[in-house]
Structure 1
Amino acid sequence: MTPTATALLLYVAWFLLLLMTLGFVRTSLVLGGKRASNSFSPSGEDMDAFGKRLTRAHANCYENLPAAGAILLYAIATNQTGLTDSLAYIFLGARIAQSVAHLISTSRLFVFIRFFFFIVQVVILLIWLLKLLHWI
Structure 2
Amino acid sequence: MTHSAIALTGFITWTLLLLALMELIRTQLVLRGKIPANGFTPDNANLSPFMQRLARAHANCVESLPVFGGLLLVSIVTGRASITDPLAYLFLACRVFQSLVHLTSLSATAVSVRFTAFAGQMAIGLYWAFKLLVSL
* TM superposition score category, shorter chain reference: over 0.9
Separation in 1, partners of 2:47, 2:123: 33
RMSD: 0.9
1:71 Cα deviation (Å)?
0.7
Aligned ranges 1:1-136 → 2 under 5 Å: 1-134=1-134
Q: TM-score, normalised by structure 1?
A: 0.97
Separation in 1, partners of 2:131, 2:15: 26
Q: Match for 2:32: what amino acid?
A: G
1:88 Cα deviation (Å)?
0.2
Deviation string 1:13-44 (CA, Å, 9 cap, x unpaired) is 11111000000111011000000111111012
Q: Identity of aligned pairs, percent?
A: 46
Separation in 2, partners of 1:72, 1:134: 15
Separation in 1, partners of 2:103, 2:2: 29
Q: Match for 1:20: what amino acid?
A: A
Unaligned runs of 5+ in 1: none
Deviation string 1:55-94 (CA, Å, 9 cap, x unpaired) is 1111110010000111111000000000000100000000
Separation in 2, partners of 1:37, 1:116: 37
Separation in 2, partners of 1:44, 1:122: 27
Separation in 2, partners of 1:110, 1:46: 23
Separation in 2, partners of 1:54, 1:4: 26
**Structure 1 ranges of 4+ moved more than 6 A:** none
SS in 2 for 1:10: helix
Deviation string 1:76-115 (CA, Å, 9 cap, x unpaired) is 0000000000100000000000000001111111011111
Q: TM-score, normalised by structure 2?
A: 0.97
Separation in 2, partners of 1:56, 1:29: 19
Unaligned runs of 5+ in 2: none
SS in 2 for 1:36: coil
